Amino acid sequence: EAEAEFLSRTEGDNCTVFDSQAGFSFDLTPLTKKDAYKVETDKYEFHINVCGPVSVGACPPDSGACQVSRSDRKSWNLGRSNAKLSYYDGMIQLTYRDGTPYNNEKRTPRATLITFLCDRDAGVGFPEYQEEDNSTYNFRWYTSYACP
């Protein structure tokens, strides 16, 4: 008889995560940079690191991701760096929380979600900014390090 497909979210430390169903472990430590990866949009620069803090002059210390306004160089912490990966349904995710609060009533802290997807030809690859949704900044990152 067929077994129900059960997808569990796996958490891992030290920038690694183990897929117990496939018996394979992912290690994103090669994506950690000394400074940061830079992603530019019309109005902002985003500086992102993987499993480590961004060290870019304009950015608040211990940010895993930060946003800098291109017009006045104001900056926001988009979440504190950590090295806890989660793995779910073929996707590796890294979440940075407790960033600079929004100027709203709830003072919601900003957060960043990076989703790593397998691309065998990408090498390290680079982050792409998707959207800001529900106080979370979403990035997508195609990299060969997300491949089993």
| pTM greater than 0.85 (yes/no) | yes
Residue 78: closest CA among 91, 58, 10, 88: 58
User: In angstroms, how far is CA 125 from the centroid of its own chain?
Assistant: 13
Write down the domain spans for the chain.
Answer: 10-146
Structure tokens at 70: 């291109």
Backbone angles phi, psi at 109, to 5 degrees: -75, 145
> DSSP class of residue 31?
G
Write the CATH number of the domain with boundaries 10-146. 2.70.130.10
Mean pLDDT rounded to a whole number for the chain? 93
Least confident segment among 13-27, 106-120, 133-147: 13-27
Q: Strand order in 136-143's β-sheet?
A: 10-12, 85-88, 91-96, 111-118, 136-143, 126-133
Sign of CA dihedral 131, 118, 145, 85: positive
Residue 7 pLDDT:
67
pLDDT in tens, 47-103: 999 999 999 988 998 999 999 999 999 999 999 999 999 998 889 999 999 999 998
What was the pLDDT predicted at 1? 47
pLDDT band at residue 2, thresholds of 50, 70 and 90?
Answer: low
